[in-house]
C-alpha cells in the first residue's frame, strides 16, 4: 500500500476537530485524529501537526496539555484557538480571561501579507471566533501576523520555526477564507503533494479489507441508504461472493422500502437475503418510550437477527456496517478525548458485549459528502447516492414515545406524501435531509360537521453538507400548505401538521 503524507490532528475535545479533518481531506491530504493523551510518535509518520481547540481553558488547573518539545521545530505546526493559547502560555506569554466572551463573526483588521500562512488572504477577511480567554502578551520570539479590532493577537508565528497560532477557527464555514489559510499551511508551508483522493481511498481500502478479512465470509446489513450501499460495493470489490448482504424489515422503514431495496440491490449484482422481522422489533419495543433505550433495543435486535442469519452461512466471522464519522462523533468521543456524547447510534452504541461476530466498518472515518464521492468513484448510480440520509433506527426515532404498528402506518403515509411532493416539485435534491415525525400529541380539530381529536405530524427539512451542522430549509409556503392539506385529508388519524424551523445546533436533525 502507498504511504501517503499525513498530518496529525491532536484533539483537545473541540466540537470542531472533525471539521478540521474534513477540510484537510477536501484538499486531498490524509489526516488522522488522536486524543491529546494518546499521541503517536511523530518520527517520519507525520509531515505536520495541528492542535485543535477545546472546551477547556488553558487557565484551568487540569486543562489538557501535550509535550510540545516533541513537536515544535520538528514539523510544521498549526495551533488553533486553545492550541494557540497553550503554546503562548507554555512559552512564557500571557493568557487572560476575556472581558467579554468572543463568539461569532469578526473581521481581520491587519494581516501580514508577507507571511506564507496568509498569502492572498484579504486584510479584512471574516473569521469565526469562539473563545473565553485571550492571548494578551506573546514572547519576544513570537510575531503578530493578524489582528482584529477586538483581538490584537488574532494570529502569530514563532521566529525561526514553522509554528503558527490562530485565535480564530479557519475550519468553520463562517471563516470565509479559512480553507485558503489551511491550504496555505498544507501547500505553501508543509509542501504536501495532495495525493489522497477518492480513487486512492478505494484502492487502499480494498487492499485493507482483503488483508483483514482474508478468506472469511462477511454479512452486511443493507438499508437502501448511501452509507450501506457504498460499504457493500467496497466489500464486494474486495471479497466478491464472500459478501452476504442481508436486508432486515424491522417494521420501521419508509412505505414500500423493503420491496424496493431488495430489487435495487439485486440489480447491482449483490447477493441479498431478505428477512421479515417486523414482529420481533415491535414486540421488543412494546411500551418503550425513552429514546436511548429504543435505540439500544433496535441495535440489539438487529444484531441478534444477524447472528441468527449468520448461523445459516458457513464460516461467517464478520459483520460489516455502514457507520460513518458523524455516527461515531455523536455517540462517543471519536478519539477517546474529552468531547461529550450527544446520542448513541444503533450501529455504534447498541452492540451487545456478547456479540459473536467481529465488526468491520470501512467508512467510519468519512463524512457523508466524502462517502458520496467514494460512491461516485466506484460507479454507484447518482439516484442512489443522492438519496437523503435515513437514520439506522428508522421511524423508531421519528415516532416520539412508544411505538405501535398503527403509529408506524400513519407516519409512513404522511412521510410518503411529503417526500413524493418534494420530488414532484423538484425540491428533493435541494434539501439535504427530510422526513416526517409523529408527535405524542393529540389536538382538537373539525372535519366537516364533526369534532376530531387526532394526531400531530411534524415536517422536517434541512440543508447541510455533513450533518454536523444544519439549518432548516425554507420551503415555499404554498408547498407546505399543499402538503399539510394532503396529509390531513388522506391520512386517517391526523388533523394537524406543523413545520420544524430549528437549526443544528442547538437542535439536532432528528427529534430523538
* Residues acting as catalytic residues: 81, 169, 171
Instruction: Give the helix, strand, coil percentages of the chain, each rounded to 5.
Output: 35, 25, 40
Q: What is the DSSP string of 112-148?
A: -TTSGGGTT--TT-EEEEEEEEEEEE--TTEEEEEEE
Distance CA 143, CA 156 (A): 5
* Rounded CA separation 300/402 (Å): 17
Question: Whole-angstrom Cα distance, residue 324 to residue 234?
Answer: 14
User: Which residues have C-beta within 8 Å of that of residue 481, sequence separation ≥ 6?
Assistant: none
Interacting residues of 502 by C-beta distance below 8 A, sequence separation 6+: 472
Q: Where are the beta strands (DSSP E) in 379-509?
A: 433-447, 450-463, 471-472, 494-499
Q: Which residues contact 55 (CB under 8 A, 6 or more apart)?
A: 13, 14, 15, 338, 339, 340
Q: How far apart are CA 73 and CA 197, in angstroms?
A: 29
Number of C-beta neighbours around residue 255 at 10 A: 18
Q: State how beta strands 494-499 and 471-472 pair.
A: unpaired
In the block, which residue shows the cell 429514546? 291
Q: Taking a C-beta distance cutoff of 8 angstroms, is the pair 148, 107 a contact?
A: yes
* Alpha helix (H) residue ranges in 244-290: 257-267, 278-285
Backbone φ and ψ for 266, nearest 5 degrees, come out as -65, -35
Amino acid at each position: 500500500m502507498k504511504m501517503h503524507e499525513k498530518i496529525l490532528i491532536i484533539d483537545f475535545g473541540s466540537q470542531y476537530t472533525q471539521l478540521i479533518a474534513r477540510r484537510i481531506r477536501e484538499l486531498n491530504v490524509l489526516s488522522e485524529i488522536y486524543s491529546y493523551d494518546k499521541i503517536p510518535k511523530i518520527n517520519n509518520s507525520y509531515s505536520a501537526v495541528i492542535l485543535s481547540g477545546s472546551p477547556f481553558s488553558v487557565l484551568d488547573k487540569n486543562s489538557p496539555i501535550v509535550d510540545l518539545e516533541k513537536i515544535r521545530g520538528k514539523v510544521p505546526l498549526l495551533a488553533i484557538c486553545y492550541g494557540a493559547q497553550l503554546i503562548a502560555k507554555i512559552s512564557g506569554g500571557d493568557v487572560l480571561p476575556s472581558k467579554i466572551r468572543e463568539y461569532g463573526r469578526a473581521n481581520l483588521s491587519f494581516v501580514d501579507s508577507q507571511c506564507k500562512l496568509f498569502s492572498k488572504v484579504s486584510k479584512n477577511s471574516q473569521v469565526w471566533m469562539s473563545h473565553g480567554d485571550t492571548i494578551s502578551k506573546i514572547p519576544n520570539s513570537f510575531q503578530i501576523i493578524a489582528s482584529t479590532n477586538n483581538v490584537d493577537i488574532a494570529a502569530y508565528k514563532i521566529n525561526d520555526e514553522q509554528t503558527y497560532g490562530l485565535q480564530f477557527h479557519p475550519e468553520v464555514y463562517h471563516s470565509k477564507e479559512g480553507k485558503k489559510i489551511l491550504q496555505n499551511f498544507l501547500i505553501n508551508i508543509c509542501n504536501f503533494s495532495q495525493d489522497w483522493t477518492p480513487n486512492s481511498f478505494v484502492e487502499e481500502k480494498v487492499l485493507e479489507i482483503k488483508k483483514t478479512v482474508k478468506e472469511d465470509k462477511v454479512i452486511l446489513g443493507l438499508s437502501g441508504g448511501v452509507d450501506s450501499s457504498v460499504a457493500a460495493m467496497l466489500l464486494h470489490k474486495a471479497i466478491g461472493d464472500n459478501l452476504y448482504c442481508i436486508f432486515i424489515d424491522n417494521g420501521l422503514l419508509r412505505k414500500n422500502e423493503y420491496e424496493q431495496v431488495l430489487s435495487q440491490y439485486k440489480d447491482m449484482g449483490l447477493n441479498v437475503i431478505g428477512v421479515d422481522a417486523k414482529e420481533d422489533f415491535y414486540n421488543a419495543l412494546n411500551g418503550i418510550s425513552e429514546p436511548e433505550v429504543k435505540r439500544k433495543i433496535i441495535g440489539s435486535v438487529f444484531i441478534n437477527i444477524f447472528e441468527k442469519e449468520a448461523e445459516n452461512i458457513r464460516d461467517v466471522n464478520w459483520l460489516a456496517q455502514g457507520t460513518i464519522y458523524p455516527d461515531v462523533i455523536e455517540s462517543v468521543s471519536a478519539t477517546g478525548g474529552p468531547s461529550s456524547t450527544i446520542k448513541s447510534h444503533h450501529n455504534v452504541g447498541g452492540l451487545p458485549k456478547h456479540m459473536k461476530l467481529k465488526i468491520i466498518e470501512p467508512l467510519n472515518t468519512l463524512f457523508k459528502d466524502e462517502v458520496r464521492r467514494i460512491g461516485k468513484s466506484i460507479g454507484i448510480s447518482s439516484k442512489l447516492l443522492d438519496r437523503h440520509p435515513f437514520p439506522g433506527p428508522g421511524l423508531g426515532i421519528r415516532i416520539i414515545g412508544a411505538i405501535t404498528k398503527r403509529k408506524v402506518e400513519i407516519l409512513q403515509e404522511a412521510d410518503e406524501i411529503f417526500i413524493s411532493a418534494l420530488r414532484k416539485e423538484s425540491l428533493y435534491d435541494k434539501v439535504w435531509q427530510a422526513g416526517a415525525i409523529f408527535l405524542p400529541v393529540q389536538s382538537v380539530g373539525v372535519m366537516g360537521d364533526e369534532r376530531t381529536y387526532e394526531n400531530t405530524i411534524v415536517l422536517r427539512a434541512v440543508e447541510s453538507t455533513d450533518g454536523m451542522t444544519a439549518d432548516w430549509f425554507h420551503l415555499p409556503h404554498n408547498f407546505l400548505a399543499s402538503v399539510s392539506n394532503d396529509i390531513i385529508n388522506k391520512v386517517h388519524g391526523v388533523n394537524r401538521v406543523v413545520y420544524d424551523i430549528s437549526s443544528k445546533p442547538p437542535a439536532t436533525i432528528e427529534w430523538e
